[in-house]
Structure 1
Amino acid sequence: MNTGQQTPQPDHYDAIVVGSGISGGWSAKELCEKGLKVLLLERGRMIEHVTDYHTATKAPWEFPHRNARMPDELLQKYPVQNRTGFAITEATHHHFVNDLDNPYVEDKPFDWIRGYHVGGRSLMWGRYSFRFSDLDFEANAREGIATDWPIRYKDIAPWYDYVEKFAGIAGNRDGLPHLPDGQFQPPLPDNCLEQHFRKSVNQQFTDRNVISARAAHITAPTKEQTELGRAKCQFRNMCMRGCPYGAYFSTQSATLPAARRTKNLTVRPHSIVNAIIYDEKLGKATGVRVIDEQTNQWHEFRAKIIFLNASALGSTFILLNSRSNRFPNGMDDSGQLGHNLMDHHFHVGANAIYERDLDKAYYGRHPAGLYIPRFRNLGQDQQPFKRGYGFEVYTGRQNWDHAYGLEGFGTDFKEKATQFGNWTITLDAFGECLPYYDNRVQLTSEVTDKWGQPVLKMDVHYRENETLMRKDAREQAVLMLEKAGFSNIEGFDSQAHPGLSIHEMGTARMGNDPKTSVFNKFNQHHAVRNVFCTDGACMTSSPCQNPSLTYMALSARAADYAVRELKKGNL
Structure 2
Amino acid sequence: MADNVYDAIVVGSGISGGWAAKELAEKGLKVLMLERGRNIEHIKDYVNAHNEAWNYPHRDVATQEMKALEPVIKRDYPLNESTYGMWESHQTSPYVEKKRFDWYRGYHVGGRSLLWGRQSYRLNEEDFMANAKEGIAVDWPIRYNDLAPWYDYVERFAGISGNRDGLDVLPDGQYQPAMPLNVVEKDLAKRLQKAFKGTRHIINGRCANMTEPKPEQNRVNCQYRNKCWLGCPFGGYFSTQSSTLPVAMATGNLTVRPFSIVTRVLYDKDKKRATGVEILDSENNQTYEFKSKIVFLNASALNSVWMLMNSATDVWDGGLGSSSGELGHNIMDHHFRVGASADVEGFEDKYYYGRRPSGFYIPRFRNWGDDKRDYVRGFGYQGSASRTGWNRNVAEMGIGADLKNTLSEPGSWSIGMTAFGEMLPNHDNKVYLNKAQKDKWGLPVLEMDVEIKENEYAMRKDMMNDAVEMFEKMGLKNVRGYDADYAPGMGIHEMGGARMGRDPKSSVLNAHNQVWDAPNVFVTDGAAMTSASCVNPSLTYMALTARAANFAVEELKKGNI
TM-score in same-fold range (> 0.5): yes
Residue identity matched to 2:360: L
Q: Name 1:186's counterpart in structure 2.
A: 177
Q: What is the SS of the residue equivalent to 2:243?
A: helix
1:133/1:495 Cα in 2 relative to 1: closer, same or farther (>3 Å)?
Answer: same
Which 10-residue stretch deviates more, 534-543 or 361-370? 361-370
Is 1:214 aligned to residue 206 of structure 2? yes
Shift of 1:409: 6.5
Q: Name 1:4's counterpart in structure 2.
A: none
In 2, are the aligned partners of 1:403 and 1:416 still within 8 Å (CA)?
A: no
CA-based RMSD: 1.4
Pick aligned residue for 1:288 from 269, 277, 283: 277
Shift of 1:105: 0.3
Q: Work out the number of aligned pairs and report it.
A: 559
Q: Name 1:496's counterpart in structure 2.
A: 486
Q: Name 1:443's counterpart in structure 2.
A: 433
In 2, are the aligned partners of 1:403 and 1:417 still within 8 Å (CA)?
A: no
Shift of 1:253: 0.4
In 2, are the aligned partners of 1:508 and 1:517 still within 8 Å (CA)?
A: yes
Q: Name 1:554's counterpart in structure 2.
A: 544
Superposition pairs of residues 125-136 of structure 1, within 5 angstroms = 125-136=116-127
Is 1:150 aligned to residue 141 of structure 2? yes
Q: Name 2:380's counterpart in structure 1.
A: 390
Pick aligned residue for 1:238 from 227, 249, 258: 227
Pick aligned residue for 1:61 from 54, 62, 77: 54
Distance in 2 between the 1:406 and 1:248 partners?
Answer: 41
In 2, are the aligned partners of 1:78 and 1:97 still within 8 Å (CA)?
A: no
For residues 521-548 of structure 1, the C-alpha deviation after alignment (integer angstroms, 9 at most, x for no partner) is 0001111010000000000001001000
Is 1:320 aligned to residue 309 of structure 2? yes
Is 1:138 aligned to residue 129 of structure 2? yes
In 1, are the aligned partners of 2:141 and 2:502 still within 8 Å (CA)?
A: yes
Q: Name 2:416's counterpart in structure 1.
A: 426
Is 1:122 aligned to residue 113 of structure 2? yes
Pick aligned residue for 1:535 from 525, 539, 544: 525
Shift of 1:354: 1.2
Residue identity matched to 1:213: G
Q: What is the SS of the residue equivalent to 1:381?
A: coil
1:412/1:294 Cα in 2 relative to 1: closer, same or farther (>3 Å)?
Answer: closer
Q: What is the SS of the residue equivalent to 1:290?
A: strand
Q: Name 2:14's counterpart in structure 1.
A: 21
Q: Name 1:113's counterpart in structure 2.
A: 104
In 2, are the aligned partners of 1:278 and 1:324 still within 8 Å (CA)?
A: no
Residue identity matched to 2:425: P
Q: What is the SS of the residue equivalent to 1:170?
A: coil
Shift of 1:488: 1.5
Unaligned runs of 5+ in 2: none
Pick aligned residue for 1:369 from 359, 371, 384: 359
In 1, are the aligned partners of 2:78 and 2:87 still within 8 Å (CA)?
A: no
Distance in 2 between the 1:17 and 1:483 partners?
Answer: 51
Shift of 1:411: 6.0
Distance in 2 between the 1:467 and 1:330 partners?
Answer: 33
Q: Name 1:486's counterpart in structure 2.
A: 476
Shift of 1:10: 4.2
Shift of 1:74: 3.6
For residues 65-110 of structure 1, the C-alpha deviation after alignment (integer angstroms, 9 at most, x for no partner) is 232x2333344332211122x1322211121111110000001110
TM-score, scaled to structure 2: 0.97
Q: What is the SS of the residue equivalent to 1:181?
A: coil
Superposition pairs of residues 454-469 of structure 1, within 5 angstroms = 454-469=444-459
Distance in 2 between the 1:400 and 1:150 partners?
Answer: 53
TM-score, scaled to structure 1: 0.96
Pick aligned residue for 1:79 from 68, 71, 74: 71
Shift of 1:64: 2.3
Pick aligned residue for 2:93 from 85, 102, 112: 102
Distance in 1 between the 2:232 and 2:525 partners?
Answer: 23
Distance in 2 between the 1:465 and 1:103 partners?
Answer: 30
1:323/1:406 Cα in 2 relative to 1: closer, same or farther (>3 Å)?
Answer: farther
Shift of 1:178: 1.9
In 2, are the aligned partners of 1:169 and 1:185 still within 8 Å (CA)?
A: yes
1:568/1:421 Cα in 2 relative to 1: closer, same or farther (>3 Å)?
Answer: same
Distance in 2 between the 1:481 and 1:24 partners?
Answer: 41
Superposition pairs of residues 266-345 of structure 1, within 5 angstroms = 266-332=255-321, 333-345=323-335
1:409/1:235 Cα in 2 relative to 1: closer, same or farther (>3 Å)?
Answer: closer
Q: What is the SS of the residue equivalent to 1:559?
A: helix
Q: Name 1:247's counterpart in structure 2.
A: 236
For residues 247-270 of structure 1, the C-alpha deviation after alignment (integer angstroms, 9 at most, x for no partner) is 100000000001000000000000
Q: Name 2:62's counterpart in structure 1.
A: 70
In 1, are the aligned partners of 2:88 and 2:105 still within 8 Å (CA)?
A: yes
For residues 345-374 of structure 1, the C-alpha deviation after alignment (integer angstroms, 9 at most, x for no partner) is 001110111131122222210100100000
Shift of 1:444: 0.5
In 1, are the aligned partners of 2:397 and 2:406 still within 8 Å (CA)?
A: no
Which 10-residue stretch deviates more, 273-282 or 103-112? 273-282
Q: What is the SS of the residue equivalent to 2:416?
A: strand
Shift of 1:412: 5.2
Q: What is the SS of the residue equivalent to 1:202?
A: helix
1:184/1:63 Cα in 2 relative to 1: closer, same or farther (>3 Å)?
Answer: same
For residues 15-73 of structure 1, the C-alpha deviation after alignment (integer angstroms, 9 at most, x for no partner) is 00000000000000000000000000000000000000000012333322232x23333
For residues 170-220 of structure 1, the C-alpha deviation after alignment (integer angstroms, 9 at most, x for no partner) is 000000112110000000011112112212112221321111110001111
In 1, are the aligned partners of 2:389 and 2:407 still within 8 Å (CA)?
A: no
Q: What is the SS of the residue equivalent to 2:515?
A: coil
Residue identity matched to 1:402: R
Pick aligned residue for 1:43 from 36, 42, 59: 36
Residue identity matched to 1:136: D
Pick aligned residue for 2:460 from 454, 462, 470: 470
Is 1:401 aligned to residue 391 of structure 2? yes
Residue identity matched to 1:22: I
Distance in 2 between the 1:24 and 1:385 partners?
Answer: 35
Distance in 1 between the 2:50 and 2:325 partners?
Answer: 49
Residue identity matched to 1:217: N
Residue identity matched to 2:15: I
Unaligned runs of 5+ in 1: 1-7
Shift of 1:323: 3.1
Shift of 1:9: 6.9
Q: What is the SS of the residue equivalent to 1:479?
A: helix
Shift of 1:407: 5.2
Residue identity matched to 2:203: I
